[in-house]
Amino acid sequence: MMKRSMVWLAVAAAIAVSSVTPARTGQPDLATDDVAYLTQLGLVRGHLSVGFGLYREGAKEAARSHMKHPGDELYAALVPAFAARGAPPFDAALAHLATLVERNAPVAEVEAAYADLERGIAAASAGASKAGLKERLGAVARLVRTAGEEYAEGVKDGAVVNAHEYQDALGFARVAREMVRTIPAGERARASAAIAAIEAELAKLDHLWPSLVPPPSVKGDAAEIFGAASRIELAASAVR
């Protein structure tokens, strides 16, 4: 019997469990909460972003860890939301990418699969079609706050103690910045001051990640990210 991808098994198990398990009490309902739904998709994208970057740099074992995480923990919660929102799932593309990474496929092949998966996630994002700019910026703020939580686990008193968490934080910050960068021109003009303030906050964080594969120590602290998240939340709250 051919060896099946462990990530594919994780995705399949997640789908099976999520089809019969309701959302945990106290957790946001991804089927109805647009901010939570877009945040969850952003977390998936963040893991994949750093995973692909690591693979391209030749850090393949670290890449596998990041590629595996979305199927293990994040995708399950999205499955019932896809059905409720009429959004297309992307489990097949997620599993295909993970399988290629496990097989040490050529970078060009992995890059094509990654691009295909990004398109699938974009299509799923359209399931939040009623989300306005305020909600999308709310998701940006949540991604940045989550980046702070991960950075706090990865960096202690300037020492990088957990490279995976450091990289997670980078991935989430990257996705947050991309979400702001791609705001359509009409919406950008309507909320130019808030968007400019948010972009400035995101730019201030760049120095926290001098490289994808971290050095032993960095000049930064999670408090900077938490502060930025609070200011982004404030800017987003002013959008109408």
pTM of the predicted model as reported, rounded to 2 decimal places? 0.88
Name the residue among 150, 178, 174, 202 with its Cα closest to residue 53: 174
**CA 31 – CA 13 distance, rounded (Å):** 20
pLDDT digits (tens, 9 = 90+) for 103-116: 999 999 999 999 99
Tokens for 133, please give them: 């700019």
At 196, the amino acid letter reads: A
pLDDT digits (tens, 9 = 90+) for 147-194: 999 999 999 999 999 999 999 999 999 999 999 999 999 999 999 999
pLDDT digits (tens, 9 = 90+) for 1-10: 334 333 433 4
Residues 6 or more apart from 50 whose CB is under 8 A from it?
Answer: 66, 167, 168, 170, 171, 174, 212
**CA 67 – CA 63 distance, rounded (Å):** 6
Instruction: Parse the chain into domains and list their residue ranges.
Output: 1-18+30-130, 132-240
Provide the terminal-to-terminal Cα distance of the chain, rounded to the nearest Å. Answer: 57
Q: What pLDDT is attached to residue 67?
A: 85
pLDDT digits (tens, 9 = 90+) for 211-226: 999 999 999 999 999 9
